[in-house]
């Protein structure tokens, strides 16, 4: 091997990185103490950025593309080394490749319940979890603030800190939103956007961005959920007094059908106890007299329409329909309709109108 070949082998003339992992955020190009050849080719692929560190100082940042490392495209490195335009010598610098693609399907969740004041339940606690995506928005800031001199930095090394930031901002947003707990499930998309927006400033200080944040579930403590289930059950059961009366009648029927010898006595005892329980439940805990039920609502009076030769007239009250029968404006064969009726019907076939024709005899038969 000649001295020229030896010297050539000491210089790096091609710099590139292909990532075969799914979690590497930063990878340092290993030059093994070799110097980078002036005019070397630097390849930066889509989803990457290359950052040069020279003697511990942050230098030039390269976006995707193919570069010839010369003074005209390394302004910061040229300034740091006081190079002139005739510089042709190899140089020593560290090259860090930064993965700028999105890291997706990352999990977050509240480690401890979040206290908030709900407008319906009062002070309560909730838990939440979901997913998010993160990407490097500023490679230089990310290297300076987070990575440092780590030669291979993965997502696992920063995910815990990101989760803490998300939970902190989620707690603040959810506590100040004023959204009732029962309505939060319908507003998870808006809440996710609010949280992502509120943490953008903090994440920018690390050179990171959160393009997406999803809230998959918001849950109440088990005790609150159990109380909510009871409240729902009471709503389904309806009025408690009616429910007790129904239960009492069921008990009386069961006792009366008992084939044992004491069936009659059991039926009487069950009836007495059932009536006493129903009276007590209706009277309330202090023995107040039961409130009489309100009168039923007045019947709804129908109004009618009459169809004659394709023309519709009306609406007419029942009294007006009676007058039409008297003056011949409506006959038994007239087609009538009212709200709730299934299509047009002959007046004689409508029970409510048929009685109007009883005051007059039907037309005489043909002679």
pLDDT tens digits, the chain, 367 residues: what are they?
444 444 444 678 899 999 888 899 999 998 776 788 888 899 999 999 999 988 888 889 999 999 998 887 888 887 877 776 666 778 888 899 999 999 999 999 988 888 888 887 788 888 899 999 999 999 999 999 999 888 899 999 999 999 999 999 888 888 887 788 888 878 888 888 888 888 998 999 999 999 999 988 888 878 777 777 776 666 665 555 665 666 676 677 776 666 554 444 454 545 555 555 555 555 555 545 567 777 777 666 778 788 887 788 878 888 888 888 888 888 888 888 888 788 888 888 887 878 777 755 556 677 5
Full strand arrangement of the beta sheet holding 65-68: 11-15, 35-44, 65-68
| Rounded-to-integer distance, Cα 306 and Cα 278, Å | 51
Q: Under CATH, which number does the domain 304-359 receive?
A: 3.30.1490
Cβ-based neighbour number of residue 224 at 10 Å:
16
C-beta of residue 13 within 8 angstroms of C-beta of residue 70:
no
Position 247 scores a pLDDT of 65
| Nearest alpha-carbon partner for 194 in 172, 220, 219 | 172
| Rounded-to-integer distance, Cα 215 and Cα 191, Å | 8
| Nearest alpha-carbon partner for 99 in 164, 50, 149 | 50
C-alpha 39, offset from chain centre: 54
- Hey, what are 102's tokens? 């999105």
- Hey, what are 209's tokens? 């961005």
Domain ranges of the chain: 3-99, 103-223, 304-359
Position 342 scores a pLDDT of 80
- Peptide bond connecting 315 to the previous residue in cis, omega within 30 degrees of 0: yes
| Rounded-to-integer distance, Cα 198 and Cα 221, Å | 26
Residues counted in the chain: 367
Position 2 scores a pLDDT of 43
Between CA 182 and CA 48, with CA 134 as vertex, the angle to 5 degrees is 160
Between CA 220 and CA 228, with CA 223 as vertex, the angle to 5 degrees is 70
| Rounded-to-integer distance, Cα 302 and Cα 340, Å | 9
| Nearest alpha-carbon partner for 50 in 12, 104, 100, 102 | 100
| Nearest alpha-carbon partner for 94 in 58, 63, 43, 45 | 58
| Rounded-to-integer distance, Cα 234 and Cα 333, Å | 52
Homologous superfamily in CATH for domain 103-223: Band 7 domain (3.30.479.30)
């Amino acid at each position: 091997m000649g001295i020229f070949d030896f010297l050539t082998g000491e210089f790096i003339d091609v710099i590139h990185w292909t990532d075969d992992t799914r979690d590497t955020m930063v990878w340092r190009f290993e030059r093994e103490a070799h110097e980078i050849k002036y005019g070397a080719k630097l390849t930066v692929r889509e989803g990457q950025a290359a950052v040069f560190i020279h003697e511990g100082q942050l230098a030039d940042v390269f976006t995707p593309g193919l570069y010839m490392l010369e003074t005209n495209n390394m302004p910061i490195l040229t300034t740091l080394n006081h190079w002139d335009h005739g510089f042709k010598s190899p140089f020593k610098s560290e090259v860090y490749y930064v993965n700028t693609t999105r890291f997706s399907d990352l999990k977050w969740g509240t480690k401890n319940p979040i206290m908030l004041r709900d407008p319906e339940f009062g002070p309560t606690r909730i838990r939440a979890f979901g997913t998010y995506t993160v990407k490097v928005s500023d490679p230089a800031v990310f290297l300076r603030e987070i990575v440092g001199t780590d030669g291979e930095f993965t997502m696992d090394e920063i995910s815990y800190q990101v989760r803490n930031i998300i939970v902190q901002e989620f707690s603040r947003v959810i506590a100040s939103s004023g959204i009732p707990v029962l309505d939060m499930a319908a507003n998870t998309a808006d809440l996710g956007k609010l949280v992502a927006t509120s943490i953008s400033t903090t994440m920018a200080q690390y050179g990171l961005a959160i393009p997406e944040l999803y809230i998959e579930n918001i849950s109440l403590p088990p005790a609150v959920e159990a109380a909510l289930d009871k409240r729902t059950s009471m709503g389904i059961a309806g009025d408690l007094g009616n429910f007790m009366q129904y239960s009492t009648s069921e008990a009386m029927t069961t006792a009366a059908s008992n084939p044992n010898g004491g069936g009659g006595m059991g039926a009487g005892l069950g009836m007495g106890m059932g009536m006493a329980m129903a009276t007590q439940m209706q009277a309330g805990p202090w023995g107040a007299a039961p409130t009489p039920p309100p009168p039923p609502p007045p019947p709804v009076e129908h109004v009618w329409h009459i169809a004659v030769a394709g023309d519709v007239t009306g609406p007419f009250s029942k009294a007006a329909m009676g007058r039409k029968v008297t003056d011949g404006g409506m006959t038994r064969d007239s087609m009538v309709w009212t709200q709730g009726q299934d299509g047009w019907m002959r007046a004689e076939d409508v029970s409510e109108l048929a009685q109007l024709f009883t005051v007059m005899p039907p037309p005489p038969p043909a002679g």
